[in-house]
Structure 1
Amino acid sequence: MKRTISKMLAAGFAATLLTLPASRIAAQITIVPQPQEVKLQAGKASVSANPKIYLDKKAKITASYLSAQFKEAGITPVMVNSAAQADIAISMGKASGHKEGYKLEVSDKKKPAITATADDRSGAVYAIESIRQMLKNEGGKFTANVCTITDWPEFGWRSYMLDESRHFHGMAMVKRMVNEMVRLKMNTFHWHLVDDPGWRIEIKGYPKLTSEGSLSDFSHHFQGAEKWKEAYPDRERSYYTQAEIKEIVNYCAERGIRVIPEIEVPGHCYAATHVYPELLAKGDNDTDPAIYDVVAPEFKKFIETTLTQVVKLFPSKIVHIGGDEANYSRWSKNERIKKFMKDHGLETYPDMQLYTINSLQKFLDKKGVKLIGWNEITGDNVHGEANHGENSALTLEKGTLVQFWDGSTDLAKKAIKKGFNLVNSNRLYTYLDYGYPTISLDHAYSFNPYFDDLTPEQNAKILGLGCQMWGEWTPTDARVYFQTFPRLAAYAECGWTKVENKNYADFVRRMSPIEKIWQGKGYFTGQPSYSMGTPEAAK
């Protein structure tokens, strides 16, 4: 997406509903995101560097995964078969009473020293993350303050989007980003795999999508195979095979993260129409932006084949259809499309787009899959463009999910009032491609996915938030890290912690251990930091 930049308004949240004052909590509990309820007591619990850990089989978490998570903290677990034998016990049962919730009890007087109870598998995954953040190495012993933590997310949708169409990064890098998502209890990886610059997913029956459509990116736009090889001489390929897709989906699932793929329709499709020109809406000007010929039988076969394979690869039961920034110039010069619109009573080009989106929603619904798209799919003239028009003959199918990114927030509220569930990704707060002067650390933290002037019932239609790492200016992994870290942590807390429990100064202090980890991994290369000599003072 192209984003215009306007003046940003920062907002802070100072209240906290914890048992002790924020300063004392910060000094003793350094969990990010901030837990919902913390009850601190005097004393410290202690475990060795080789603690005995009990892991309930009902959690469906492997011992190898648990060991790998603790290894980063310098802890090598010894697995035992009962909680009574354990220093740390992780069990399933009634904990917070919420999805993805858990409860931690830390004691200096009884064994286990740390007891975690999880409401579901995701809660157990997150309990592990909180434990490894809590434990501090003090002379070879690992200590944690005596406390009881009851925790669950405010929102069920907490997503990070990576754009790999504009620049491809590959499996190893994706797994690194997923590792940081689980550290921060983010549960949705939104994977932008196709767009104008390149196609990154194998689709059987359409080999040129990857054999040719992947040989391009934002920096090297379809310059040919020879130039591509010169640009990336050591790269085996610039797309994911279906086997690789499955591996990443499984890697995410182990970490409690679902993967939502994005397959753009009707615009942002040059990579596909360049190699399969029969999919392109023909006009009288070849310089007009690409848009699919959505009434062509070739398109119907192509998109249904693509979505059928995508649904089988991604068990999240949600597919993102894009739907943003469609340029209708080619449709306006295409007699077949204009005849189709007349025959079907479609008065505007947004109606034509809505007809297409609704058809795909019905196609996916038969497969038990929901469709989500950027908020242009509502038919609204999001950008206020002259001669663009709005829907008049059709409305968006009920059950479709809307991801708000641009335009007046009144458009988001309008969708909610019409009964649509919404993901709030307001670009003025959540776009990671924006520079730090535009979206500063405290501005990112100030984001509130709720709207003040909606009723509680209406705000309940907000599923959560997404932050977006668009790829125009991220040709290297290092640049993705620069833009993503540390702001990712702010969005994680915005999605997990109740607004009234957020406190920026406390967040800054709690971020110090995580930023040191990121620094050790090479993710910091000069960007602002919450805790390491940042030019932004804690507020």
Structure 2
Amino acid sequence: MNITYFIFIFFALINNPVFANETVQIIPQPSKIEYGEGAFALKEGIDVIASENLQNEASFLADLLGKGLADKPQISKDGKGIHLIMESDLQGQLGKEGYVLSVSPDGILIKAATSSGIFYGIQSLRQLLPSDFEYEGKYEKIEVPVLQITDTPRFPWRAFMLDESRHFKGSQEVKKLLDQMALLKMNTFHWHLTDDQGWRLEIKKYPKLTEIGSRRRDTQTSSRSDERTGVPHEGFYTQEQIKEIIEYAKNRHITIVPEIEMPGHAMAAVAAYPWLGSLGTTNEVPVTFGKMNDSFNIADPEVVQFLKNILDEVFTLFPDNVVHIGGDEVNFKPWEESKMANRFMKEKDLESPVDLQIYFTNQMSNYIDNAGKRMMGWNEILGDDIHEEREPHTNKTKQKLAKSAIVHFWKGDLDLINRAVKEGYDVVNSNHWDTYLDYTYDRTPLSKSYAFDPVPEGLDVKYQSRILGTGTQMWSEWIPTVPEMEKQIFPRLAAYAEVGWTTRKNKNYDRFQSSLKELKERWTLGGINFYKGKDIDN
């Protein structure tokens, strides 16, 4: 036993206080923890000391402490208590998201170069408190051990994706997930809002996208099955609801990246406006899942302008920098059989439907660039046959993807990542075998999630900065309910949070499993379902 433990026992015998975690259990594991002697008594009457430009973070902390103490702390500009200090000069040491959390017998200090760093320091302090602090009763006093945490993230992109096209979940569940992302220092919410089976985003210029495209009459129950639920499914977000969620995420230092699928996964939109399609036969939102028959007719300038008009509303609605256009699993057959598409390819000297997609993607990339934002897409936007299903004549390309695009790798040989970064592209690595949350725990156990490294083995150090980070994806085709979905997400989300934040040398699966026990207690008290089966230490 170390000296800190004996100090805890001594104080317990005298004052019988409640102790914060005597062995620090924080997920994701911080870069450096230094232990001292003694403790700080966190109790009623403490103030949060912060400047005007940290009022959001100070309010978050005061609200948090008010859940577990007898009274909610006051926010002051000076005095004793918990100090939040932002110093831009610290960016050289801590980067944009790092922080230092210092606990002394006289108080608590969190300092960082940015408000994001301050917020993440608060999340670490939060995990030093008892797991039931925010949920049950009021504490008179908590002894927080003397220590100093110096912490910076490994990657700038630490994302979770929610697919609501296939099964709509709603604002309450989205906010619940954002809260857990914040606790785990994840900074990007990738919101999959459109696909074949449902259009979930209100577009003022095109109301039929939600009037028609947000509803389907039935739903397939399992892959390759003729069984249906027999129940209609619908739902979408108004722009006012979107704005509210964006603000909620912003206050938790989470960027929202909307995904508006094009040119494939388009049939909900085509059902709303049939002239957008290539086949001329799509007239309802599909009730089955998989690779669908129709794609946007991107040889038609009016269709391209329609998509640009949608992006204009997306640009206005979502203030952050990146817009995801999907670009995956495009069915080329409609273009191959289209006189308009073939005439267009000949006019533009395009070799194949693949070339046509890259040509279109570059149009969108340039349009997004001109709006002061940046396009992202699944790695098919590079033109590779990652599904190994094309005929040789459909695989010829002259076009090259614009270098400003972010490539979201999900499928194919890892050498494709090496090639992409060497050619100058930034990459987010979400290899499906390692990061897809709809996969079973037999297929992707917690240990495999934790072991994932976004940097491919053997990648030259000079290219590693091109790996922006990682995402984990909750696809919802076969996971219709919230309890089912949460069990797929938790506890794996904690593993991916550590993949994105913690350096390789600081990762340890046994330590992670031990720390996870604290999170499970929080999830139980917070009404969050989590998986308790194989490969999970209960």
Band the TM-score falls in, shorter-chain normalisation: 0.7 to 0.9
Q: What do residues 483-508 of structure 1 show as CA deviations (whole Å, max 9, x unaligned)?
A: 11110000001000101110111111
Q: What do residues 224-275 of structure 1 show as CA deviations (whole Å, max 9, x unaligned)?
A: xxx999646xxxx711111111111111001100100001111101100011
Residue 9 of structure 1 corresponds to which residue in structure 2? none
Q: From the superposition, tell whether residues 80 and 300 of structure 1 become closer, same or farther in structure 2 (CA, over 3 Å).
A: closer
Q: From the superposition, tell whether residues 62 and 128 of structure 1 become closer, same or farther in structure 2 (CA, over 3 Å).
A: closer
- 8 Å CA contact 1:45–1:144 kept in 2: the answer is yes
State the alpha-carbon separation in 2 of the partners of residues 124 and 150 from structure 1.
12
Q: Give the residue type in structure 2 aligned to 1:270.
A: M
- Identical columns (%): 38
Residue 212 of structure 1 corresponds to which residue in structure 2? 212
Q: From the superposition, tell whether residues 334 and 132 of structure 1 become closer, same or farther in structure 2 (CA, over 3 Å).
A: same
Matched, 1:291 2:295: yes
CA positional deviation for 1:80: 4.1
Q: From the superposition, tell whether residues 212 and 524 of structure 1 become closer, same or farther in structure 2 (CA, over 3 Å).
A: same
CA positional deviation for 1:59: 2.2
Quick one: which of 76, 99, 105 aligns to 1:81? 76
- 8 Å CA contact 1:158–1:464 kept in 2: the answer is yes
State the alpha-carbon separation in 2 of the partners of residues 122 and 218 from structure 1.
43
CA positional deviation for 1:358: 0.3
Residue 34 of structure 2 corresponds to which residue in structure 1? 39
TM-score, normalising length: structure 1: 0.87
Task: Specify the SS of the correspondent of 2:125.
Answer: helix
State the alpha-carbon separation in 2 of the partners of residues 284 and 306 from structure 1.
23
Residue 14 of structure 2 corresponds to which residue in structure 1? none
Task: Specify the SS of the correspondent of 2:199.
Answer: coil
Q: Give the residue type in structure 1 aligned to 2:262.
A: V
- 8 Å CA contact 2:354–2:396 kept in 1: the answer is yes
- 8 Å CA contact 1:436–1:528 kept in 2: the answer is no
Q: Give the residue type in structure 1 aligned to 2:41.
A: S
Residue 121 of structure 1 corresponds to which residue in structure 2? 115
CA positional deviation for 1:57: 1.8
Q: What do residues 15-41 of structure 1 show as CA deviations (whole Å, max 9, x unaligned)?
A: xxxxx9xxxxx9611111111111112
Quick one: which of 305, 311, 318 aligns to 1:314? 318
Quick one: which of 510, 514, 523 aligns to 2:519? 514
Q: Which moves more between the two structures, 136-145 or 279-288? A: 279-288
Q: What do residues 387-431 of structure 1 show as CA deviations (whole Å, max 9, x unaligned)?
A: 164352111011111000001111111111111000010111100
TM-score, normalising length: structure 2: 0.87
CA positional deviation for 1:123: 0.7
- 8 Å CA contact 1:324–1:375 kept in 2: the answer is yes
Matched, 1:364 2:368: yes
- Give matches, 1:215-364, under 5 Å: 215-216=215-216, 219=219, 231=232, 238-282=235-279, 289-364=293-368
CA positional deviation for 1:170: 0.7
- 8 Å CA contact 2:43–2:69 kept in 1: the answer is no
CA positional deviation for 1:521: 2.3
Q: Which moves more between the two structures, 284-293 or 247-256? A: 284-293
State the alpha-carbon separation in 2 of the partners of residues 434 and 75 from structure 1.
44
Residue 6 of structure 1 corresponds to which residue in structure 2? none
Task: Specify the SS of the correspondent of 2:94.
Answer: coil
Q: Give the residue type in structure 2 aligned to 1:151.
A: D
CA positional deviation for 1:72: 4.8
Residue ranges of structure 2 left out of the alignment (5+ in a row): 5-20, 222-227, 287-291
State the alpha-carbon separation in 2 of the partners of residues 220 and 436 from structure 1.
23
Q: From the superposition, tell whether residues 351 and 514 of structure 1 become closer, same or farther in structure 2 (CA, over 3 Å).
A: same
Task: Specify the SS of the correspondent of 1:61.
Answer: helix
Q: Give the residue type in structure 1 aligned to 2:421.
A: I
- Give matches, 1:488-499, under 5 Å: 488-499=493-504
State the alpha-carbon separation in 2 of the partners of residues 249 and 139 from structure 1.
33
Structural RMSD (CA):
2.5
Residue 157 of structure 1 corresponds to which residue in structure 2? 157
Q: What do residues 295-332 of structure 1 show as CA deviations (whole Å, max 9, x unaligned)?
A: 11331221011000001111112100100000111011
State the alpha-carbon separation in 1 of the partners of residues 326 and 386 from structure 2.
14
Q: From the superposition, tell whether residues 453 and 42 of structure 1 become closer, same or farther in structure 2 (CA, over 3 Å).
A: same
- 8 Å CA contact 2:58–2:75 kept in 1: the answer is no
CA positional deviation for 1:64: 4.0
Q: From the superposition, tell whether residues 55 and 295 of structure 1 become closer, same or farther in structure 2 (CA, over 3 Å).
A: same
CA positional deviation for 1:65: 2.9
Matched, 1:470 2:475: yes
Q: What do residues 327-356 of structure 1 show as CA deviations (whole Å, max 9, x unaligned)?
A: 111011101101111111111111000000
State the alpha-carbon separation in 1 of the partners of residues 451 and 68 from structure 2.
30
Residue 166 of structure 1 corresponds to which residue in structure 2? 166
Residue 145 of structure 1 corresponds to which residue in structure 2? 145
State the alpha-carbon separation in 1 of the partners of residues 215 and 230 from structure 2.
9
Residue ranges of structure 1 left out of the alignment (5+ in a row): 1-19, 21-25, 222-226
Q: From the superposition, tell whether residues 245 and 139 of structure 1 become closer, same or farther in structure 2 (CA, over 3 Å).
A: closer
Task: Specify the SS of the correspondent of 1:28.
Answer: coil
Task: Specify the SS of the correspondent of 1:460.
Answer: helix
Q: Which moves more between the two structures, 193-202 or 37-46? A: 37-46
- Give matches, 1:311-460, under 5 Å: 311-387=315-391, 389-460=394-465
Q: From the superposition, tell whether residues 457 and 49 of structure 1 become closer, same or farther in structure 2 (CA, over 3 Å).
A: farther
Q: From the superposition, tell whether residues 71 and 78 of structure 1 become closer, same or farther in structure 2 (CA, over 3 Å).
A: closer
- 8 Å CA contact 2:218–2:231 kept in 1: the answer is no
Q: From the superposition, tell whether residues 230 and 197 of structure 1 become closer, same or farther in structure 2 (CA, over 3 Å).
A: closer
Q: From the superposition, tell whether residues 284 and 139 of structure 1 become closer, same or farther in structure 2 (CA, over 3 Å).
A: closer
Task: Specify the SS of the correspondent of 2:278.
Answer: coil
Q: From the superposition, tell whether residues 457 and 69 of structure 1 become closer, same or farther in structure 2 (CA, over 3 Å).
A: farther
Residue 481 of structure 1 corresponds to which residue in structure 2? 486
Greater relative contact order (CA < 8 Å, ≥ 6 in sequence): 1
Q: From the superposition, tell whether residues 391 and 27 of structure 1 become closer, same or farther in structure 2 (CA, over 3 Å).
A: farther
State the alpha-carbon separation in 1 of the partners of residues 253 and 386 from structure 2.
34
CA positional deviation for 1:119: 1.3
